[in-house]
């Protein structure tokens, strides 16, 4: 029984971590790497630092105007 409980708690914790990474945007680079590998095999993807800079530049050029605040 303790092993099952530990396994269930581990699964639950991994789910919470996954969810928090998704809503915080921390997983964006991981998603970029997955998509880049499938669409551009053999090419070098941006480093995480380059990706974050490009993302920030895009966000500055394309502000979210749908927010009311």
Domain ranges of the chain: 2-61
Whole-number average pLDDT of the chain: 92
Tokens of 52: 């974050």
- For 17, phi then psi, to 5°, come to -60, -45
Q: What is the pLDDT of residue 67?
A: 61
Residue 44 has a CB neighbour count (10 Å cut-off) of 7
What pLDDT was estimated at residue 39?
97
The confidence score (pLDDT) of residue 68 equals 62
67 or 4, which is more confident: 4
């Amino acid at each position: 029984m303790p092993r099952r409980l530990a396994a269930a708690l581990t699964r639950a914790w991994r789910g919470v971590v996954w969810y928090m990474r998704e809503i915080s945007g921390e997983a964006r680079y991981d998603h970029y790497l997955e998509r880049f590998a499938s669409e551009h095999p053999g090419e070098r993807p941006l480093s995480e630092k380059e990706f974050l800079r490009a993302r920030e530049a895009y966000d500055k050029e394309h502000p979210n105007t749908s927010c009311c605040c």
